[in-house]
Amino acid sequence: MKTVEELNQLRTKARNKMEMRLDDGHDYFVVVAMGTAGIAAGARNVLLKLVEKVHELKINALVTQDGQIEVTGQEPLVKIVDSTGNQVIYKKVDVAMAEEIIAKHLQNNQVIEEYLLQEGQ
């Protein structure tokens, strides 16, 4: 290696492959409920779409999964926690809604009220 730029380029490239193992903080944690009901309602496709988009758009968010997070009939559920610990849960999320959540909530910090799981639902 003859220049520091070369090293930095390689670092950037290599970081893309191991983002989840770096210790940087994240702006959002996106948790997809993957219990049996969630999977039956199509949570897997939602999860995969979220992972893909977060990576593609280089959003500083971590997408993980959980088991059933609420007892509802409103699956698939997606919980979004911001860095201050505030959280909201979206209900009946499909692939198109997942893209909308990314565009509005994660990219513009706009909660989409109409998709939210309400108390007692």
Partner 1 sequence: MERIQVVVCAGTGCTIGNSGELIEKFKEEIKHAGLENEISVKKTGCLGLCGVGPNVAVYPDNIIYKTVSVDDIKEIVTEHFLKGRPVQRKMLNDVKDGKVLDINHSSFYAKQKRIALNNCGVIDPENIEEYIAKDGYQALAKVLTSMSKQEVIDEVLASGLRGRGGGGFPAGKKWQFAHDQQEKQKYVICNADEGDPGAFMDRSILEGNPHSVIEAMAIAAYAIGANYGYIYIRAEYPIAVQRLEVAIDQAREHGLLGDDIFGSGFDFDLEIRLGAGAFVCGEETALIRSIEGHRGMPQPKPPFPAVSGVWGKPTIINNVETYANIAQIILKGSAWFASIGTPASTGTKVFALGGKIKNTGLVEVPMGTTLREVIYDIGGGCPNGKEFKAVQTGGPSGGCLTKEHLDTPIGFDELLSLGSMMGSGGMIVLDEDNCMVDVARFYLDFIVDESCGKCTPCRIGTKRLYELLESITKGEGTQETIDELLNLSQVIKDTSLCGLGQTAPNPVLSTLRLFADEYQAHIEDKKCPAGVCKELLSYIIDPELCRKCGLCAKQCPVGAISGELGKTAFVIDQEKCIKCGQCVKACHFKAIERR
Binding site for partner 1 (CB under 8 A): 1-4, 7, 10-11, 13-15, 17-18, 20-22, 32-36, 39, 47-48, 51-52, 55, 62-67
Closer CB to partner 1, residue 96 or residue 110? 96
For residue 4, give both structure tokens: 């520091």
Nearer to partner 1, 40 or 116 (CB): 40
Cα angle 68, 51, 120 (rounded to 5 degrees) comes to 30
Q: Taking Cα atoms as reference points, which of 72, 70, 62, 77 lies closest to residue 32?
A: 77
Min separation Cβ 109 and partner 1, Å: 21
Task: Check residue 105 and report its DSSP letter.
Answer: I
Query: Going edge to edge, which strands form the sheet with 28-33?
Result: 61-66, 28-33, 78-82, 87-90
3/118 with CB nearer partner 1: 3
Least separation in angstroms between residue 77's CB and partner 1 is 11
For partner 1, give the closer residue by CB, 34 or 102: 34
Torsion of CA 50, 114, 109, 40, to 10 degrees: -20
Q: Least Å distance between CB 40 and partner 1?
A: 11
CB of 14 to partner 1, least distance (A): 4
